[in-house]
Structure 1
């Protein structure tokens, strides 16, 4: 399925990073008319879909013939790929022969169904990873974009999955510690980005913030700790609740758990119920999800209404929600995992801590020192502006595409 895309203009982003925009236009002259197709699992829910909704239109504005295709697959397929996702992050889960056959069959079908006649095809994550294997030999160049933490995968699954991933010219990982054979010779460190002009990140008026605070019963007179995460065991939302409870012993605070239920994550519903039960009845724990009408604009407002961010994931591919919160001038207290480590500079624009006690102490330190809270927030925004905005991301893509086709 081809995804319909909005029109976006690179010139609108010059106010944030003029240097990156100028570099993109120069690269666009060299790559003008090149046909590039991105392929992923879903058009909504999750960070990859959000990224592509900005990246592909900006590639078009740079002069490329860019498009976005989404897999056509039954729910049973996503049950299997969720297992794949977990095993690539280290889970000891068995994938049956029947499940492998379904995975391969859906990839083979999509290799025929999707519009993939292009100079460069960029495959995102494991769900469509076998599509190049089932495409006839051609001049198409393939790039694999991995958005998850593969530093310590289940090797049985990793070796089987990658055995048919032989047609890729480049493999892009958030950080180099995720790279493993057979991609060590073609790997590129490639962090993602946030769109500063999207509904999720644009500036908001005070009136907009007030309306959303009232709608979701956010008490603006006391500190708000916000976690934005999918309902996924790796996000360890139980620890987030434990941290909140420890902080609550010293400060009158609220906790917002903000999430969306992604189409390609059926087990998320089960975990959602588990977390709800663990939270119990506490009017200061707010579950703010798309089930209550929380969309991108609402996430933006909730983050701006926050005092600081909390991220308790035990494994994390990158964690764009960290950059989103930092962009709103709020520090984040998080566990030092995956791509989180390169976003937060410990003791400079946030804190990296591991245990519930350490995380709660770090939050209390910021709540008790308003000047430090403000200074950390300013540094956090500047770090994102320099490194993790859409323009820097598009520039990196065009540089990799150029290296592949030239």
Structure 2
């Protein structure tokens, strides 16, 4: 299924990163008219969809014939791919022969019915990974997962079967690269869009309306966690951190999330986390089930005192860059891509256990000059490394290498 996309203009980014825009226009000259298709599992929920909603329209504006196709699949397929996702991150899971047959069958069906006649096909994550087995062309695999220590049995069973069909494999960090991709791997961090509804500067009136609608008290400190309901995000620890802090500080915890359509497990965990939180009125669950969209997430991050990220595994964690872009420090566990966004003692703190996380948050909440210093550093780092324009430049360079 092809995704309908908005029009975006690369010229609109001139005020933020002028030199990078000029470089992108020059890079794209040789690629004009090139047909590029991105393929992933869902058009809504999760970081991949958000990235593509910006990157694909900007590729078009630069002159590429770019579009985005989404898999058509039954729920049983996504139960299998969730297992693959967890296995790629190192979990022990049992995947049966019949489940693997379903995975292959759905990939074959999509290879035949999606419009994949393009110069370059970019496959995102495990769900459409087998498509190149059933379709001729030049393929790039874009992995958004922390594969630093995968479940080797399942990793090898899946990746080896189609690895030779790919010209390049893109990973957030070099430490995620495993065989059979070492010879074709590229380090490829993702990005946030500074002009999107989630990241643009909002009028005060909009901020006030949303605060009022969701009954948030901005006179008290606010800790915000933005994360899917996923076991790796360890949201119970976020609640534990809040409870430790609550003994010393009168604060609120915002848990902000979207329910990804390709993640049936998320609904079960959502109910479990709700029960764990109990009836504390200062723990706010703010999801799309309550009408939370990108503007609302923007407001929640903007009004936050400090961000918290308790994931035990994290491919990258763009929600951290989003929070940093609003000039707010973040306290997080030092895992995966978190480590390149938060520099300990520069724009936040990296800590492991719940007590350490709570202590680090307390230090920021109680030292306004430290919070301001971290906030300035936070925005500067994201501007230099993790905006859309830098990401788009990486894509154009890789596409050029594959084509020429």
| TM score, norm. by length of structure 2 | 0.99
**Partner of residue 154 from structure 1, selected from 137, 151, 155:** 151
| Counterpart position of 1:52 | 52
Q: How does 1:4-403 map to 2 (within 5 A)?
A: 4-136=4-136, 140-165=137-162, 166-403=164-401
SS of residue matched to 1:195: coil
Regions of 4+ moved over 4 Å: none
Within 1, Cα distance between the matches of 2:354 and 2:265?
25
Please state how far the C-alpha of 1:141 moved relative to its aligned partner: 1.5
SS of residue matched to 1:188: strand
Within 2, Cα distance between the matches of 1:19 and 1:174?
24
Count of residue pairs brought into register by the alignment: 403
Please state how far the C-alpha of 1:207 moved relative to its aligned partner: 1.1
Please state how far the C-alpha of 1:14 moved relative to its aligned partner: 1.1
Within 1, Cα distance between the matches of 2:86 and 2:214?
33
Please state how far the C-alpha of 1:54 moved relative to its aligned partner: 0.3
Within 1, Cα distance between the matches of 2:56 and 2:270?
32
Deviation per CA, 1:116-140: give whole Å up to 9, x if none: 111110000000000011114xxx3
Within 2, Cα distance between the matches of 1:57 and 1:135?
25
SS of residue matched to 1:170: strand
CA-based RMSD of the aligned residues comes to 0.6
SS of residue matched to 2:357: helix
Within 1, Cα distance between the matches of 2:342 and 2:16?
20
Please state how far the C-alpha of 1:213 moved relative to its aligned partner: 0.7
Deviation per CA, 1:204-252: give whole Å up to 9, x if none: 1111111111111100110000000000000000000000111111111
Within 2, Cα distance between the matches of 1:8 and 1:217?
34
Within 2, Cα distance between the matches of 1:145 and 1:16?
27
SS of residue matched to 2:256: strand
Deviation per CA, 1:251-285: give whole Å up to 9, x if none: 11100000010000001011001101111110110
| Counterpart position of 1:405 | 403
Within 2, Cα distance between the matches of 1:289 and 1:170?
36
| TM score, norm. by length of structure 1 | 0.99
SS of residue matched to 1:267: helix
Within 2, Cα distance between the matches of 1:299 and 1:349?
21
Within 2, Cα distance between the matches of 1:383 and 1:364?
23
Please state how far the C-alpha of 1:164 moved relative to its aligned partner: 1.7
Please state how far the C-alpha of 1:163 moved relative to its aligned partner: 1.9
